[in-house]
């Protein structure tokens, strides 16, 4: 099978990591930019433990023309809908749209104006951070799960991802994987943003550890009500393991707050609270952190 041409919205760390991997797998990759690029291609540098790898990616203005058939979205959750809207006329009728975005709850808005396009999701535990524009560090290996929340079968383009050096797995139950990731983000991200602390502080400071426990109790309750039994059963230990494994990380929400950017709170804790409402559950601790992050005014 020939490799596909992927267009990527979002040139942050994960967008660059996926772009580099797809290029190495033989795909054509175009990064869609909000501004008109000065050149039609650029080098993309990926540092890892023992090497630095430079590749070439195509650049294109999101508002230019040319049909898009394989679209990957790695923007912040709050930007995803507008980003897709901005290129909607370019998206082919049957084009696949793959969201690799934190949180949940943005796809329904995309479905409303792109009703016929198959939508897929990716969730990844690969570690990457941005050093500069189109320069990242691939800091840790993980698993990338891809799947459809609508029961669509394995698409032929999944082969592009299997040809990368990432551990890419097709997941027939991607909604459960997305929920689990979101549940972990609910327990960690808001507290680190409010207290301006590294992830590891949530285990070191007694009061914060207690607060993580309170959030997890509520998140587990909603998880159970919504049918995510495994998340409900393992959340406390999984959150403790992620905090330990990412102790020196600044969470993505803390980074957003520190940079004066808007946060993903509405697609993380906000989505949790909206789900809780459906089951008439009250989550005072999660509501409290939701309001505190909103009060940061971003």
Show which residues are catalytic: 181
* Least Cβ distance, residue 242 to ligand KPL (angstroms): 5
Q: Which residues share a beta bridge with 44?
A: 55
* Residue among 129 and 170 whose Cβ is closer to ligand KPL: 129
Per CB under 6 A, the segment of 8-16, 52-60, 181-189, 231-239 that binds ligand KPL is 181-189
Residue 263 is a binding residue for ligand KPL (CB under 6 A):
no
Do β-strands 5-9 and 28-33 pair in parallel, antiparallel, or remain unpaired?
parallel
String of contacts with ligand KPL for each residue 204-243, x by CB under 6 A: --------------------------------------x-
* Residue among 96 and 185 whose Cβ is closer to ligand KPL: 185
Interface residue with ligand KPL, options 124, 175, 189, 275 (CB under 6 A):
189
Residue 123 is a binding residue for ligand KPL (CB under 6 A):
no
Interface residue with ligand KPL, options 185, 231, 275, 286 (CB under 6 A):
185
Q: 77: closest CA among 153, 189, 231? A: 189
Kindly determine how many residues on this chain lie close enough to bind ligand KPL according to the rule CB under 6 A: 11
Burial (Cβ within 10 Å: 0-12, 13-18, ≥19) of residue 210: exposed
Residue 69 is a binding residue for ligand KPL (CB under 6 A):
no
Residue 262 is a binding residue for ligand KPL (CB under 6 A):
no
DSSP for residue 25? T
Give me 49's structure tokens. 């433990």
Residue 176 is a binding residue for ligand KPL (CB under 6 A):
no
* Least Cβ distance, residue 116 to ligand KPL (angstroms): 32
Interface residue with ligand KPL, options 30, 123, 251, 286 (CB under 6 A):
251
Three-class SS state of 32: strand
Q: 10: closest CA among 62, 69, 64? A: 62
CB 153 within 8 A of CB 167: no
What is the helix (H) or strand (E) element at residue 275, kind and residue range? helix 269-278
What is the helix (H) or strand (E) element at residue 46, kind and residue range? strand 41-47
String of contacts with ligand KPL for each residue 128-167, x by CB under 6 A: ----------------------------------------
- Any idea of the CA torsion for 32, 83, 192, 245, to the nearest 10 degrees? -50
* Residue among 175 and 189 whose Cβ is closer to ligand KPL: 189
* Least Cβ distance, residue 65 to ligand KPL (angstroms): 35
* Least Cβ distance, residue 130 to ligand KPL (angstroms): 13
Q: 78: closest CA among 226, 253, 195? A: 253
Q: Which residues share a beta bridge with 52?
A: 47
DSSP for residue 40? S
CB 293 within 8 A of CB 193: yes
Kindly list the residues in this chain that would bind ligand KPL in the complex (CB under 6 A): 102, 184-185, 188-189, 199, 242, 246, 249, 251-252
């Amino acid at each position: 099978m020939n490799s596909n041409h992927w267009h990527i919205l979002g040139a942050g760390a994960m967008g660059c990591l996926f772009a580099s991997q797809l290029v190495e797998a033989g795909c054509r990759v175009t990064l869609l930019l909000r501004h008109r690029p000065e050149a039609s291609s650029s080098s993309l540098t990926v540092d890892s433990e023992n090497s630095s790898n430079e590749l070439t990616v195509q650049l294109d203005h999101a508002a230019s023309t040319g049909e898009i058939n394989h679209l990957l979205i790695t923007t912040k959750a709050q930007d995803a809908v507008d980003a897709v809207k901005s290129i909607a006329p370019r998206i082919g009728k049957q084009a696949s749209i793959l969201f690799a975005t934190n949180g949940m709850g943005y796809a329904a808005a995309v479905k409303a104006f792109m009703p016929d396009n198959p939508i897929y999701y990716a969730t990844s535990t690969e570690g990457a951070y941005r050093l500069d524009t189109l320069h990242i560090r691939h800091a840790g290996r993980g698993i990338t799960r891809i799947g459809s929340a609508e029961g669509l079968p394995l698409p032929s383009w999944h082969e592009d991802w299997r040809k990368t050096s990432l551990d890419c797995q097709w997941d027939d139950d991607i909604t459960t994987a997305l929920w689990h990731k979101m549940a972990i983000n609910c327990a960690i991200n808001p507290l680190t943003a409010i207290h301006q602390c590294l992830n590891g502080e949530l285990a070191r400071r007694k009061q914060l550890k207690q607060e993580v426990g309170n959030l997890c109790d509520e998140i587990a309750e909603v998880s159970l009500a919504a049918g995510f039994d495994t998340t409900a059963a393992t959340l406390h230990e999984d959150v403790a393991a992620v905090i330990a494994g990412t102790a020196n990380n600044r969470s993505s929400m803390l980074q957003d707050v520190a940079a004066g950017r808007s946060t993903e709170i509405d697609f993380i804790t906000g989505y949790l609270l909206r789900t809780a409402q459906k089951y008439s559950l009250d989550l005072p601790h999660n509501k409290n952190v939701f309001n505190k992050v909103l009060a940061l005014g971003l």
